[in-house]
Amino acid sequence: MGDTEEKNLLQARLILEHSSSVTVLSGAGISAESGVPTFRGTDGLWRNFRSENLATPEAFRENPRLVWEWYDWRRCAVKDARPNPGHFALAELENQKKKFTLVTQNIDGLHQMAGSRNVLEMHGNLWEIKCTKCGLITKDYRVPLEELPPLCPSCGGMGRPNVVWFGELIPMEVIDKTLKAIEDCEVMLIIGTSGVVEPAASMGLVAKQAGKTVIEINIEHTPNSPLFDFTILGKSGEVLPLLYTPRMAYS
Ligand code: BV8
Ligand code: ZN
């Protein structure tokens, strides 16, 4: 790790040590070391379809089976994924802070598996199916799904992934809680996101405009990097465990 990274890392450790309220925004990059394909990286392709072209209500309306084949493929790809040291570090940091909110764009559920408790899933969850008829939401971990599209256990209506597609609104309650978590925090960490998708991509700017310290952790600079206090270049699974002192079990 270069001198600048060392300096940024030490600075981030000190800032976090003296903060009692932290808000985090995570993206697909934090799950990359768990083997989950990122959304836009080279592994973000499936049968030569771009993710952005499948994750839309139009694609689902046009060909629900194709969209479900993609989600079923992702569920199969994620089923053996386990949290990595980056996920566990955030769960541990939550235990050490008076106020901690983790806003994630990810739908893989790995933050909760790592023990994070106060998690806001901005884009939904890969393991939930929502009935397009009665709205019933069910947790369903079957891989692969026996029938595509899956049918609602209650009314037999067609199920859809309980995720937010492009062109769909993020639930207002999630937006409100995210903005409150930004207002209440001293420090915001922006981890493993390309900063392309709105409104998530604007949350770091909102924090900066509210006078918060914003630290980015990514393997490369992003278009939003210049907005932030600084960027720690590195893998989140390697950087995050270095940002705090683990509490000894007996302390
Ligand atoms: C909305 C769920 C209001 C589904 C996702 C035109 C018409 C309609 C809308 C729009 C439009 N133009 C713009 C919009 C808004 C649109 C948008 O932002 N489009 C983009 C493409 C320009 N947004 C919306 O539609 C949102 N709703 O705006 O409502 C509205 C309504 C109607 C009309 C207008 C406005 C809803 C957006 C939600 C989309 N759903 N996911 C699914 O997953 O199947 S978004 C999808 O992208 C994933 O959730 C993903 O998490 C998210 C963001 O991507 P990233 O997480 O950043 O992942 P990415 O692969 O891009 O980057 C990975 C990063 O990690 C990289 O930076 C890499 O360097 C880094 N990295 C890699 N490895 C590591 C690492 N970092 C650290 N360590 C490592 N080891
Ligand atoms: Zn139903």
Per-residue pLDDT reduced to its tens digit, 22-37: 999 999 999 999 999 8
Q: Indicate whether 249 pLDDT > 90.
A: no
Query: Token pair of 228, please?
Result: 């932030």
> Can you give the pLDDT at residue 43?
60
Residue with the smallest CA separation from ligand 1 atom 7 is 167
> Residue 77 burial by CB count (10 A; 0-12/13-18/19+): exposed, middle or buried?
middle
Q: Which of 69, 193, 203 to mutate to test the pocket of ligand 1 (most atoms within 8 A of CB)?
A: 193
Give the model confidence (pLDDT) of 145-184 as tens digits: 999 999 999 999 999 999 999 999 999 999 999 999 999 9
Confidence of residue 45 (pLDDT cuts 50, 70, 90): low
Amino acid 180 reads: K
Q: What is the pTM of this model?
A: 0.95
DSSP 245: -
Among all bound ligands, the one having the nearest atom to the CA of 197 is 1
pLDDT at 6: 86
Q: What is the pLDDT of residue 251?
A: 52
Which pLDDT does position 50 carry in this prediction?
84
Q: Is 18 a catalytic residue?
A: no
Residue pLDDT, tens place only, 210-230: 999 999 999 999 999 999 999
Rounded CA-CA distance 132/180 in Å is: 31
Can you give the C-alpha Rg of the chain in angstroms? 19
What is the per-residue pLDDT for 52?
Answer: 86
> What's the pLDDT score for residue 183?
98
Using alpha carbons, select from 154, 24, 148, 174 the residue that is nearest to residue 93.
24
- 27 Cα nearest atom in ligand 1: 56
> Which tens digit of pLDDT belongs to each residue from 62-112?
999 999 999 999 999 899 999 999 999 999 999 999 999 999 999 999 999
Environment class of 117 (CB within 10 Å of its CB; exposed 0-12, middle 13-18, buried 19+): exposed
Probe residue for ligand 1, chosen from 24, 121, 197, 224 as the CB with the greatest number of ligand atoms within 8 Å? 197
Helix (H) or strand (E) holding 217: strand 213-218
Alpha-carbon distances of 144 from 78, 227, 249, rounded to whole Å: 11, 42, 39
pLDDT reported for residue 3: 81
Provide the token pair at 8: 């940024």
Whether the predicted pLDDT of 196 surpasses 80: yes
User: What is the 138 CA–ligand 2 centroid distance (Å)?
Assistant: 10
At residue 42, the pLDDT reads 62
Burial call 184-218: b when 16+ CB within 10 Å, e when fewer: ebbbbbbbbbbbebeebbebbebbbeeebbbbbbb
